[in-house]
Amino acid sequence: MELILISSAFLAGFFALKLGLPPLVGFLFAGFTLHAFGIESNSTIITLADLGVTLMLFTIGLKLDLKTLLSKEIWAGASIHNLLTTGTFTLVLLLLKYLGISSLAAMPIEQIALLGFALSFSSTVFAVKALQEKGEMNATYGNIAIGILVMQDIFAVIFLTASTGKLPEWYAIFLFILPLIRPIFYKLLDSVGHGEMLVLLGIFFALVTGAGLFKIVGMKPDLGALILGIMLANHPKSSELSKSLFNLKELFLVCFFLNIGLSAEPSLTGFALAILFILMLPLKGILYFGVLNKFKFRIRTSLLSSLSLLNYSEFGLIVAGIAFQLGWMSGDILVALAIAVSISFVIAAPLNRHGHFLYQYSGKWLKEHAAESLNPRDQLINPGSAQILILGMGRIGSGAYEELNNEHGDVCLGVELRDEAVNEHISAGRNVIRGDATDPDFWERILDTENVKLVLLAMPHHQGNQIALEQLKSRSFNGQIAAIAEYPDQLRSLKEQGVDAAFNIYSEAGSGFARSVCEQLDVPLSK
C-alpha 518/C-alpha 521 separation (Å) is 6
Q: How confident is the model at residue 313 (pLDDT cuts 50, 70, 90)?
A: confident
Q: How many domains does the chain have?
A: 2
Strand 412-416 and strand 388-391: the pairing is parallel
Kindly indicate the confidence band of residue 473, based on its pLDDT and cuts at 50, 70 and 90. confident
Asked if residue 121 belongs to a domain, the reply is yes
Kindly state whether residues 344 and 451 are assigned to the same domain: no
Same domain, 329 and 395: no
In sequence order, which residues have a C-beta less than 8 Å from that of residue 374 and are 6 or more positions away? 296, 297, 298
Judge whether 143 lies within some domain: yes
Work out the pLDDT band at 282, boundaries 50, 70, 90: very high
Q: Is the CB of residue 359 less than 8 Å from the CB of residue 300?
A: yes
pTM over 0.95: no
Q: Are residues 346 and 451 in the same domain?
A: no
The sign of the torsion formed by the CA atoms of 65, 70, 76, 81 equals: positive
Range of 123-127, 178-182, 295-299 with top mean pLDDT: 178-182
CA–CA gap between residue 497 and residue 199 (Å, rounded): 38
Q: Do residues 408 and 332 share a domain?
A: no
Residue-wise pLDDT for 189-201, tens only, equals: 999 888 889 999 9
Question: How far, in Å, CA of 415 to CA of 420, rounded?
Answer: 13
Torsion sign across C-alpha atoms 38, 44, 47, 53: negative
308 part of a folded domain? yes
Do residue 350 and residue 452 come from a single domain? no
> What does the H/E/C string look like for 346-414?
HHHHHHHHCHHHHHHHHCCCCCCCCHHHCCHHHCCECCCCCCEEEECCCHHHHHHHHHHHHHHCCCEEE
Provide the 10 A C-beta neighbour count for residue 380.
11
327 and 411 inside one domain:
no
One domain for residues 192 and 299: yes
Give the pLDDT of residue 219: 81
Distance separating alpha carbons of residues 215 and 5, to the nearest angstrom? 30
> Chain centroid to CA 342: how far?
18
Q: Kindly tell me if the per-residue pLDDT of 161 is higher than 70.
A: no
CB 287, CB 85: distance < 8 Å: yes
Q: Tell me the C-alpha distance between 520 and 324, whole Å.
A: 71
- The pLDDT mean for the chain works out to 83
Residues 75, 167: one domain?
yes
Give the range among 66-75, 220-229, 367-376, 404-413 with minimum mean pLDDT. 367-376
Same-domain pairing of 440 and 295: no
Assess whether 354 and 424 both reside in one domain.
no
Say if residues 34 and 45 touch (Cβ distance below 8 Å). no
Angle between helices 2-18 and 23-36 (to 10 degrees): 140
16 in a structural domain: no
CATH number (domain holding residue 329): 1.20.1530.10
Q: From CA 187, how far away is CA 14, in angstroms rounded?
A: 42
Is pLDDT above 60 for 447? Answer: no
CATH of the domain at 458: 3.40.50.720
**CA pair distance 122, 505, nearest whole angstrom:** 37
Q: Are residues 269 and 399 in the same domain?
A: no
pLDDT of residue 266: 67
370 in a structural domain? no
358 with 392, same domain: the answer is no
Distance, in Å, from the CA atom of 19 to the CA atom of 93, rounded to the nearest integer, reads 35
Confidence of residue 292 (pLDDT cuts 50, 70, 90): very high
In a domain, 128, yes or no: yes
Report which of 110, 219, 225 is spatially closest to residue 157, judged by C-alpha positions.
219
Task: Tell me how far apart the alpha carbons of residues 158 and 238 are, in angstroms, rounded to a whole number.
Answer: 28
Least reliable range by pLDDT among 58-62, 135-139, 293-297: 135-139
Other beta carbons less than 10 A from residue 44's beta carbon: 12
User: How many helices (H) and strands (E) in the chain?
Assistant: 26, 6
| CB atoms near residue 42 (< 10 Å) | 13
For residue 434, the model assigns a pLDDT of 80
**Looking at residues 20-24, what average pLDDT do you find?**
72
Q: Where are the alpha helices (DSSP H) in 165-220?
A: 182-191, 196-203, 213-216
Calculate the dihedral angle through the C-alpha atoms of 127, 132, 138, 143, rounding to the nearest 10 degrees.
10
Domain extent, residue 433, equals 388-520
Residue 26 in any domain: the answer is no
Whether 7 is in a domain gets the answer: no
